Copies of this chain bind each other. A is one copy, B any other.
Amino acid sequence: MEVRIPKRTLAEGLSILERIIPSRSSNPILTYLPVELSEQGLILRGTNGEVDIEVKLPAEVRGRGQVLIMAQTFTQIVRSAPGELVELIFGNGERLELHSGAFNTQLSTTSPDGYPELSFGPPGVEKIAAARLAQAITRVRYAASTEEYRAIFRGVQLEMSPTSLRAVASDGYRLACYDLPMQLQPRKLVIPARSADEIVRVFKDAQGEVALAVAEGTLTLVGEAVRMSVKLMEGEFPDYGRVIPQSFVLEATLQAEALRESLKRVAVLSDRNNHRVNLLFNNNRLDIDAESDYGRGREELSIEASGEPQLMVAYNAQFLIDALAPIEGAVRIKLSGTTSPSLLQAVEDSGYLAVVVPLRV
């Protein structure tokens, strides 16, 4: 069994697996990297128990078979290999020789017996641009809960429908959702936020499409070189539609980045517990201020506004800063009142919507 593969190809493949393969585990076999030599090239796999990944790398392969290698050591060695090519020679005696330039290594290998079976199921028929899926998740991810309470909110919900793929996250105090127009079979699923991060990491720079399939509580994503399966959370989000306000007393438009920078500055003086900032909408002016034991910060911005001439609303500054982050260009802020939820939308991207509940005055 021999493999010849460009160092770069192998290193890129390993970097996809590196984060999910644990460096320590109560089940030590999971710290190994299953390597398969097949007619399709070199196949690497890994799992953290929640997410399984398989990467197919084009390589010159002689012989067929499977072994386990110490994942961390192998990754370090490949990354530091001096040559452009890496040659792997698998001996019978549980050892692997790696040659690259003047550098030679012998690594111990072990039998794949006992490594858990990674099953990816048949690829789905529904396809979606890999980078756009990653983008939709990225835009809402910040709103997922980190608290134990109402565990379902520690996930990102994907809602497929005949008109769109929607990604939603919420922690009960705020909500973010992003719609990608497309035609899909109706279905809802909730991905644990950390697994959602892995999907983003693997697919955000991927070319081409990824096929989606759901079976037995698992989402399988099949891209060009990568297969990934993700354990889903049980249940679905409670009806969040009712917290999205429908009628408004004031609407204001301004540049999202200017508002975000301004909030960051003023928030330095906000109370360290609730990060409270006050937004006074006053005709075509927005005054932002915050106060704490250390002092007081204040800044004013120009806005285009309609509706009530004046309104004061208090927010957790960090929630507003997070909600503004995915917005390029202008943001439209729609207030339904001083204590009822506010809506933020990107003027130039109709897909994104954020809801932030004001702080009680």
Q: Which residues from chain A sit less than 8 Å from chain B, CB to CB? A: 70, 73, 76-77, 80-82, 95-96, 102-108, 261-262, 264-266, 268-269, 293-301
Contact = CB atoms under 8 A, between A and B. Distances in A.
B262 A295 contact: no
Contacts of A103: 262, 265-266, 297-299
A108 B264 contact: no
B107 A77 contact: no
Q: Which of A95, A107, A295, A299: most chain B Cβ within 10 A?
A: A295
A94 to B, nearest CB: 10
State how many copies of this chain the complex holds.
2
Contact of A265 (B82, B269, B297, B301): B82
Nearest to A108: B295
Contact of A301 (B102, B104, B105, B297): B102
A70 B261 contact: no
A107 B73 CA distance: 53
Contact of A108 (B265, B294, B299): B294
Contact of A295 (B82, B95, B265, B294): B95
Contacts of A266: 103
23 contacts: A73-B268, A73-B294, A73-B295, A77-B268, A77-B269, A80-B265, A80-B268, A82-B262, A82-B265, A82-B299, A102-B262, A102-B300, A103-B265, A103-B266, A103-B297, A103-B299, A105-B295, A105-B297, A105-B298, A106-B296, A106-B298, A108-B294, A108-B295
B95 A265 contact: no
B104 A299 contact: yes
Q: Which of A82, A96, A105, A297: most chain B Cβ within 10 A?
A: A105
Q: Which of A73, A77, A265, A293: most chain B Cβ within 10 A?
A: A265
A301 B73 CA distance: 23
Given A95-B295, A264-B80, A295-B95, A105 B73 contact: no
Contacts of A82: 261-262, 265, 299
A298 B104 contact: yes
A105 B269 contact: yes
A102 B299 contact: yes
Contacts of A107: 269, 294-296
A126 B222 CA distance: 70
Nearest to A299: B103
Contacts of A96: 295
Contacts of A261: 80, 82
Contacts of A70: 294
A268 B100 CA distance: 15
Contacts of A299: 82, 102-104
A76 B294 CA distance: 12
A209 to B, nearest CB: 37
A295 B80 contact: no
Nearest to A101: B299
A320 to B, nearest CB: 16
